[in-house]
Amino acid sequence: MSNMKWMGAGALAMMVAFWGGAPATAAAQQGQRGESAQTAAQGDPTEHMTPQDINDGKLNFQGSCGECHGVDASGGVGPNLHGVVRKRGPQGVFSIIRNGLPGTAMAPVSSLNDKRAWQVVAYLKTLGPEPGETTVNGDPAKGKELFASNGCAACHEVDGKGGAIGPPLTGIGSARSPKYLDEVLVDPGKNPPADPALPDRRMWTGYLMTKVVTKDGKTFTGVRVNEDSFVIVLRDMAGSYHTINKADVQSIDKEFGKSYMPSFSRLSQQQRNDLVAYLMTLKGAQ
């Protein structure tokens, strides 16, 4: 019995040797292409990249990531990426490009093949740890007071406490950039985060304000929680859910650019900086 097991393992080892050997030969024949495919499976392929690769990586980044992370990677709706390769390692960043971060707006980026994705990692590696993170010119302690005195907690949860009309902010400091957070305070509905849990995530958010009028003349207003071919589900300001059959609906108006969150443009720039500095300290689990 144990002998059989041993033989099985031996046969397996031989097969591994065989299959492991075949691509190496192919790689030798294919030259560079095979070589980079092999290094991709091990170590850090960015080590072998040329200035041309890094430049291509920059262009790939601008095309596929810049919309959310800023064209210079200093952040937007997504976080600042300066220093991220040091933080997560080259494989870690590559894996985020391939697999995304489940449950967030960071979806797998399928528009880049593996080689291009590695070029992006190589480009990110050249960026210093600076811009974004360290440029918030505010006082987090004052920001925390402003958070309390402006009623933010009525709608937002931090560390398990607070309302649920808006999204929880427990991990907001690692998910967004300071620039974006300041924009939210001034004009909350302008550039809402895409919601990966809903179809067509680029257009919709979980907090899209929607007005539904039924054929018998009733009006419902709330955030659109869910929608399919048959029903639309709204959650109103009081937190009640309304499930409306589409067969009964006269009109559905999606109010893009509007938000339940009031603008805080009445706060001074310094106060907003303080608030943003506080929000950037919230890096907890989301």
- Which residues contribute to the site for ligand HEC (CB under 6 A)? 64-65, 67-69, 77-79, 81, 84, 88, 93, 96-97, 101, 104-106, 109, 112, 120, 147, 150-152, 154-156, 165-167, 169, 172, 174-176, 181, 184, 188-189, 192-194, 205, 207, 259-261, 264, 275, 279, 286
Q: Select 14 or 237, whichever has its Cβ closest to ligand HEC.
A: 237
Residue with smaller CB distance to ligand HEC, 38 or 104? 104
Q: Which is nearer to ligand HEC, 248 or 255 (CB)?
A: 255
Closest approach, Cβ 8 to ligand HEC, in A, equals 42
Q: How far is the CB of 139 from ligand HEC (least distance, A)?
A: 15
The distance of closest approach from Cβ of residue 201 to ligand HEC in the complex, given in angstroms and rounded to an integer, is 8
Nearer to ligand HEC, 75 or 244 (CB): 75
Of the pair 172, 232, the CB lying nearest ligand HEC is at 172
DSSP letters along the chain, please?
Answer: -HHHHHHHHHHHHHHHHHHHHHHHHHHHHHTHHHHHHHHHHSS-GGGG--HHHHHHHHHHHHHHTHHHH-TTSS-SSSPP-TTHHHHHHHHHHHHHHHH--TTSS----TTS-HHHHHHHHHHHHTS-S-SSGGG--S-HHHHHHHHHHTTGGGT-EETTEE-SSS---TTHHHHS-HHHHHHHHH-TTSSPPP-TTSSSTTT--TT-EEEEEETTS-EEEEEEEEE-SSEEEEE-TTS-EEEEEGGGEEEEEE-TT--SSPP-TTS-HHHHHHHHHHHHT--S--
Closest CB 151 distance from ligand HEC, rounded Å: 5
User: Smallest gap, in angstroms, from Cβ of residue 229 to ligand HEC?
Assistant: 24
